[in-house]
Amino acid sequence: MKVVIQRVSKASVTIEGHKVASINKGLLVLLGIVNEDAQEDIDWLSKKIVNLRVFEDENEVMNKSLLDIEGDIIVVSQFTLHAATKKGNRPSYIKAAKPDIAIPLYEAFVKKVETDLGKTVQTGEFGADMKVELLNDGPVTIIIDSKNKI
């Protein structure tokens, strides 16, 4: 699993003109899934995200986690994170998991984050044409790949 994590002052997801998710201070997480991903990736990545110290403390040092600030999170499925761009100019998405594998893993990831965070996680809609709006705070943007834990 690969994620792009953005610290946001606010973020929302709109599908066909209807806002389906909206948060204030927290994290917007774009999640890409490959066939090899499993529960181990979900568990590791969820714990890493909710405990990632990217929010400022009283000394303006990034020393607080999403848990510490009681922030919110939106998780959006993003198969394009696994784009292969080595050859040519048209990205290939062959590494991205197909929906029959990706949807259950995406749903399991959201549930795990909810458990680890202790609150409801907002989401986009898997496979939908989504409009994602955000105000990146910092900006702080971090990329994590569960296959590169070491």
- 50 DSSP 8-state letter: H
Using alpha carbons, select from 48, 63, 24 the residue that is nearest to residue 117.
Answer: 48
Cα–Cα distances (Å) from 134 to 11, 16, 61, 74, 91, in that order, read: 4, 18, 22, 11, 25
Catalytic residue among 6, 39, 55, 78: 78
pLDDT averaged over every residue in the chain: 96
Is-contact 27 64, C-beta < 8 A?
A: no
Q: Residue 30 has what pLDDT?
A: 98
Tokens standing for 61? Answer: 């040092």
* Catalytic residue check, 80: yes
Domains and CATH numbers, the chain: 2-145 (3.50.80.10)
Q: Residue 40 has what pLDDT?
A: 96
**Residues 51-108: tens digit of each pLDDT:** 999 999 999 999 999 999 999 999 999 999 999 999 999 999 999 999 999 999 999 9
**Is residue 150 scored above 70 in pLDDT?**
no
Catalytic residue among 80, 115, 120, 141: 80
Rounded Cα gap, residues 31 and 48, in angstroms: 14
* Catalytic residue check, 115: no
* Catalytic residue check, 122: no
Q: Alpha-carbon torsion 104, 93, 148, 35, what sign?
A: positive
Rounded Cα gap, residues 64 and 53, in angstroms: 5
Catalytic residue among 79, 109, 122, 123: 79
Tokens standing for 127? Answer: 């496979």
